[in-house]
Structure 1
């Protein structure tokens, strides 16, 4: 890395945004890193970090307004780092510009002896939880953070789990025991102290009044707690408390082969099924240079849209149920079962089919698939019209949800909201349209939007998205290409079996690729898709082996739950139930 005193000449081919940083902010201390995903990636110094990020968000023409992700990597055991700055740990800031329709990735190198960076919570409020996660998982301190404490691990946890020297399996530690004195410490750590959470009295003549919602309240849809500060029934403050569902999905990726990790991705947003496989296998394919056949692309699109329907139908039914309607969920579950029947007939499984593979899909479409799919896409539109009358046109539901939990487009972007929760504010931005993947550019569909960004509009957008999913599935049905369902590439997994029994070399390759997984070339790639709840991205780092060196999962639900205080202040306790229902989250998608 060049020193700031050196006036280096910017080489030709340097991205324009990097030229702008050098010319307008005097940033000379940087290194440009080529990546497999083509995202502009630059390493900057700790001293220049806030200047760079502030410029990119607030001063640049067509700014990078959305903090898409903030994550870290333990670099200490990484072998293939040629051309990169010396670093024990690195922190990555992934930004997105809607106007440019492009991303930029800023990296900072840190030594183990000085693991600290300045906070950027004043630049992006959504950085709050991301910085807490980086401290919890890696021990990186963010100076000036308003409330730097563990977010996914228990407060008494020892160590930082995503460091390479932290154990990955329970068999690597001693048998669990909980003596009486330790139990008292653990119980005391669970005690809720308002001041420790940053809560304060709002006037001299008031005191704290709290309501714990969760972690087992039915409206929170999982193990999730919200500490409410109340004045009567009015919500003064609301502090989400996550981590009860944390399973270590990113840590598990470091001990599974590239192939055997696929079923784990189903369980992140467990309502999205194989739609969660898609960003992962796309990222592996980008690292490996695998071109997927057209038939496999269209099959993936069709299956993804079926899972979008399954997820939205569950959301629709529970949304109505949470605000007081009991009947709709039973009708909608019937339709959701019809979706699962089709998925089972194609893949052999229902909620967690793990149907996508590196290079394509696990199985070709079975005989008669088209008849079942056509019957369903002819059936569902009329049912959705009935649900409009039953739910969306219901006067009580409208009064419970319209004008409740609203926010603007600018606020949504500040808090890193994506998907329907962003489009409900009026911004027509869908990854399938803006940056088509898996052949979405060949499909005709609209981007549903609303205007008020409230609980009602968040549901309205999802309802219309279901109609667009039916439209996409119908096009898959009418235009399914012929050809292979999987690429003939040596790194596809499992590899083709056509010649497996013809010679010993092919048999050995097949055995090794299945048991150990393919050897993926060194590199980095982040691939993002429009998942059921917003943008879902897998940022994979390969060190040239059969395992991922680092798997970062950017999920939409994580930043969405940060918005609960914004949406709920000044509302009533009953409004909180409608707000939670309208966000559409699952805790596995939050905690990972």
Structure 2
């Protein structure tokens, strides 16, 4: 399949238009000239057999400090990377465009994929690369007054590399001026032929936005004419921090991205690291990982379930569901020692083996939870007010979902039975029996139905982990697994030195690049990692599901009321740190 798409591209555009690069993840990867990229992408989306209909990710790399050009890698100043996905082929495709110059430019592809809008703005914000023809190329994560582009290699990575912060009166005035919302700057009009529009600011301290999110609404009475999401309040530079942490010490940072997903963030990152390093994870470690990921899927869905009901007027469910979440955290704490951010997965496996008595805790929860889900069905899903607020609200079709990069429950609510755990299994998911729930209408209610059934399927997976937990190692004996198993360090001085170096400096991961993609709590979560053969990543790209989902808010909110917007936001199930990183 990989060879067929490469052959199709070379036959259509010539070998010079598609120069192949070999990567550690074996994903088909081509370098495409800048003047051909729009035509190639249009062909891949619409004309090729079994097309690549989803723009999964769009990012960039500052290549100026990269020293390990190999395996078809071509050295440029910058590279823009397009990751596409084909459902018919069940495969990814990576296209790279090399750029030269201090502040290069490239044609926009927003006319091909609407999802490219925010991705191109992010690349401009972080790298200074301009996209010609973009409808509104301005900063998206950093303040408009920010100096520089943070993911360029010359930009400081630590506060200690900058001078002391001083807040002069002129700076206060400049920042306050930048916060003023001017509709014309966003392509919005202040009035129509027969009425004046009102602009309503929701957030960033509004309970309905579930965090520091600001949405400016253009209203005609109660009806939403347009919406402008303002993100970046929660941006902490997670990708930049990856460049100055060792491969091992970056693991706790991943916990804080989808902060409701816990160890699932670790897994997405570590799968990419393990591809780079060529590490095989023992079967027992794989099953332990799966069990804890599914516990966190239920915990995350419980937070969504309770707060969604609260958003549309039900106060009681959130208290019941947070109580059940505490039961899960008791199990997580007994196994990992931590709760929301246990930071428990390691390169090559997990930190420790399961403690004595873990099976009793898991068995009790499996018995306890199904009746609670049935109780919540009656309390929430069959409630007439809940149905009135969610049925037929925030609808999008399957084609629209794919165009905008929607994944996870939002995609399955449109009728597509697609779950990465089934279709592209990882960490041993192919060994588990479970169903992929779907719905048909693509509205807020159906997105809720899918998530609720997912909790039942997660219980099935956990029960299989309980009943069939294999014996064996909880961590690989590969020399790059970190930290190595302590008991072997006293055999000889070489092993002790190896342990000391891996703990203090971290492992040296072979040069190359690899991407992972998992079915996280909110959709597809992936890490695209580049190593130049050092103790730290050269580039860390975090592709989160909440970012493209939030971009869709204006599209699916137009024509609804302000009250409906809160239903749409609640039904989307996003996390602000997952958007901003």
Alpha-carbon distance in 1 for matches of 2:421, 2:17: 36
- The structure 1 residue matched to 2:452, chosen from 436, 441, 463, is 463
User: 1:582 matched to which residue of 2?
Assistant: 571
CA–CA distance in structure 2, aligned partners of residues 129 and 202 of structure 1 = 26
Per-residue deviation, 1:567 = 1.2
Deviation, 1:84, is 2.2
Query: Is residue 23 from structure 1 mapped to residue 11 from structure 2 by the alignment?
Result: yes
Residue 148 (structure 1) aligned with residue 140 (structure 2): no
Residue number in structure 1 paired with 2:347: 358
Cα distance, 1:206 vs structure 2: 2.6
Partners of 1:429 and 1:521 lie apart in 2 by 33
* SS of alignment partner, residue 322 of structure 2: helix
* Cα offsets for 1:219-248 (capped at 9, x unmatched): 101110111000000000011110010000
Q: Which residue of 2 aligns with 1:5?
A: none
Q: Which moved more, 1:272-281 or 1:107-116?
A: 107-116
Of the candidates 515, 519, 523, which is equivalent to residue 508 of structure 2?
A: 519
Residue of structure 2 in register with 1:106 after alignment:
95
Deviation at 1:400, TM superposition (A): 0.6
Q: CA deviation at 1:499?
A: 2.5
The Cα of 1:181 is off from its aligned counterpart by 1.1
Q: Aligned residue for 1:199?
A: 188
1:373 alignment counterpart: 362
Cα contact 1:428–1:447 (8 A) shared by 2: yes
Q: How does 1:130-279 map to 2 (within 5 A)?
A: 130-201=119-190, 203-279=192-268
Per the alignment, residue 475 of structure 2 pairs with 486
> Which residue is 1:528 aligned to?
517
Once the two structures are superposed, residues 46-85 of structure 1 have per-residue CA deviations (whole angstroms, 9 ceiling, x without a partner) of 1110010000001011100000000000000001112322
**Are residues 543 and 419 of structure 1, via their aligned partners in 2, closer, same or farther at CA, if it must alter by over 3 Å?**
same
2:247 and 2:36 mapped to 1: Cα distance?
A: 36
Equivalenced residues, count: 580
Contact 1:27/1:48, CA 8 A, preserved across alignment: no
Give 2:531's aligned residue: 542
Counterpart position of 1:120: 109
Deviations 1:313-344 (A, max 9, x none): 00000000000001111111111000000000
| Secondary structure in 2 matching 1:445 | coil
SS in 2 for 1:533: coil
Of 45, 49, 59, the match for 1:71: 59
Partners of 1:450 and 1:72 in 2: CA distance: 36
Gaps of 5+ in 2: none
Matched, 1:45 2:33: yes
Q: CA offsets per residue over residues 112-151 of structure 1, 9 Å max, x none?
A: 2461100000000000000000000000000000000000
C-alpha distance after superposition, 1:189-238 (max 9, x if no partner): 11100010111256323323100011111110111011100000000001
**Following TM superposition, by how much is the alpha carbon of 1:182 offset from its aligned partner in structure 2, in angstroms?**
1.4
TM-align CA RMSD: 1.1
- Mapped to 1, the partners of 2:2 and 2:306 lie a distance apart of 51
1:86–1:489 CA distance, 2 compared to 1 (3 A)? closer
When residues 14 and 574 of structure 1 are mapped into structure 2, their CA distance, relative to the original with a 3 A threshold, is closer
Q: Which runs of 5+ in 1 are unaligned?
A: 1-12
Residue aligning to 1:411: 400
Q: Is the 8 A contact 2:110 2:116 kept in 1?
A: yes
Query: Under a length normalisation based on structure 2, what TM-score does the superposition of the two structures give?
Result: 0.99
Q: Is the 8 A contact 2:103 2:128 kept in 1?
A: no
Partner of 2:24: 36
Shift of the 127–14 alpha-carbon distance from structure 1 to 2, 3 Å rule, reads closer
- Alpha-carbon contact 1:31-1:84 (below 8 Å) kept: no
Q: Per-residue displacement from partner, 1:232-290 (whole Å, max 9, x unpaired)?
A: 00000011110010000000000000000000000000000001100111111111111
Paired with 2:13 and 2:189, the residues of 1 have a C-alpha distance of 39
Pick the aligned partner of 1:556 from 545, 552, 574.
545
Deviation by residue 1:334-393 (Cα, 9 ceiling, x = unmatched): 110000000000000000001100000001000011011011011101110000000000
Q: Any idea what SS the aligned residue of 2:55 has?
A: strand
Matched residues in 2 for 1:270 and 1:314: separation? 11
SS of structure 1 residue aligned to 2:487: coil
User: 2: CA distance between counterparts of 1:422 and 1:27?
Assistant: 36
